[in-house]
C-alpha cells in the first residue's frame, strides 16, 4: 500500500459495516472477524427479540445498543490505530528516500546539497539521529571540527539504544586523525633605520 484511503471513506465504510475500514486498510481477516461479530450480535439481538418476547422491548433495545456501541467503538478504535501505524510506516519510507538522496549527494561531493537535505529532515524531526550523524560527517569533511564534535555529541544524546556507537566512534577517530587547519605564520621583518 503506497497511499492510505481518505479518512472520511474509512470512517464511512466502518460506520456502515464495522470492519469494512480495516478491510480497506488491508487487514482483511480482522476486518471480516469484526464484521461477522457485528452480524452475529445483530442476529442475536433480533433472535432474542422474537424468542423471548416476555423479556420486554427495553431489554432487547438496551442489549442491541450496548453491543452496537461496543462493536462500533472497538472497530473505529482499531481502524484509527491501524491507520496511524500505516501512516507512520509510509512517512518512514518517504523519509528514508529523502535521506538516501542526502547520502547520494554526499557521495557525489555535493556537500551543500546533502547538508540542506539533512537540515530539512531535522526541521521535520529534530531528533533524527541519522541526519545529525550525517551533518557531523559533512562538518568533519569540511574541516569544521567544532561543528563535527557538536553534532556527534547530539548524536550520542539521541541514540538511546547505542545503535550508532560504532559510527560515532569512527567519526571521532577520523576527527582525531585530521590535522588542524594550517595556521598562517606571519613574520614581521625588522626594519632597519635608514642610514644617515
Same domain, 68 and 134: no
Question: What is the Cα–Cα distance from 40 to 58, expressed in whole angstroms?
Answer: 20
Torsion, CA 137, CA 138, CA 142, CA 143, rounded to 10: -30
> Is 159 domain-assigned?
yes
Q: Which tens digit of pLDDT belongs to each residue from 85-102?
A: 767 765 667 788 888 999
> Is 156 domain-assigned?
yes
Asked which of 91, 119, 148 is the last residue of a domain, the reply is 91
Same domain, 20 and 84: yes
> Is 193 domain-assigned?
no
pLDDT tens for each residue of the chain, 196 residues long: 446 667 777 767 776 777 777 777 777 777 788 778 777 777 776 676 666 666 566 666 677 777 777 777 777 777 777 777 767 765 667 788 888 999 999 999 999 999 999 998 888 888 888 999 999 999 999 999 999 999 999 999 888 788 888 999 999 998 888 665 554 445 555 666 667 6
* Structural domain for 74, as ranges: 7-91
Q: What is the pLDDT of residue 153?
A: 92
> Is 103 domain-assigned?
no
Q: What is the pLDDT of residue 104?
A: 94
Question: What is the Cα–Cα distance from 22 to 37, expressed in whole angstroms?
Answer: 14
Q: What is the pLDDT of residue 93?
A: 74
Question: What is the Cα–Cα distance from 124 to 95, expressed in whole angstroms?
Answer: 10
In 3D space, the residue among 73, 66, 130 whose CA is nearest the CA of residue 98 turns out to be 130
Number of structural domains the chain divides into:
2
Question: What is the Cα–Cα distance from 139 to 48, expressed in whole angstroms?
Answer: 73
Cβ–Cβ under 8 Å, residues 2 and 90:
yes
> Is 98 domain-assigned?
no
Q: What is the pLDDT of residue 23?
A: 76
The alpha carbon of 172 is separated from its chain's Cα centroid by a whole number of angstroms, namely: 28
> Is 45 domain-assigned?
yes
Cβ–Cβ under 8 Å, residues 41 and 18:
no
Same domain, 81 and 126: no
Same domain, 117 and 64: no
> Is 182 domain-assigned?
no
> Is 101 domain-assigned?
no
Q: What is the pLDDT of residue 9?
A: 74
Amino acid at each position: 500500500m503506497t497511499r492510505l484511503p481518505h479518512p472520511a471513506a474509512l470512517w464511512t465504510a466502518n460506520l456502515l459495516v464495522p470492519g469494512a475500514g480495516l478491510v480497506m486498510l488491508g487487514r482483511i481477516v480482522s476486518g471480516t472477524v469484526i464484521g461477522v461479530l457485528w452480524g452475529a450480535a445483530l442476529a442475536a439481538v433480533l433472535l432474542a427479540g422474537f424468542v423471548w418476547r416476555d423479556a420486554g422491548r427495553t431489554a432487547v433495545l438496551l442489549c442491541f445498543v450496548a453491543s452496537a456501541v461496543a462493536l462500533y467503538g472497538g472497530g473505529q478504535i482499531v481502524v484509527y490505530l491501524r491507520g496511524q501505524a500505516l501512516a507512520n510506516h509510509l512517512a518512514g519510507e518517504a523519509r528514508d528516500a529523502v535521506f538516501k538522496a542526502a547520502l547520494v549527494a554526499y557521495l557525489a561531493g555535493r556537500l551543500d546539497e546533502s547538508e540542506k537535505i539533512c537540515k530539512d529532515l531535522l526541521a521535520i524531526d529534530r531528533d533524527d539521529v541519522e541526519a545529525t550523524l550525517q551533518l557531523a560527517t559533512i562538518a568533519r569533511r569540511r574541516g569544521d571540527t567544532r561543528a563535527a564534535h557538536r553534532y556527534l555529541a547530539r548524536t550520542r544524546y539521541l541514540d538511546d539504544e547505542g545503535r550508532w556507537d560504532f559510527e560515532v566512534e569512527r567519526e571521532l577517530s577520523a576527527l582525531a586523525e585530521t590535522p588542524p587547519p594550517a595556521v598562517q605564520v606571519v613574520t614581521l621583518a625588522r626594519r632597519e633605520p635608514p642610514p644617515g
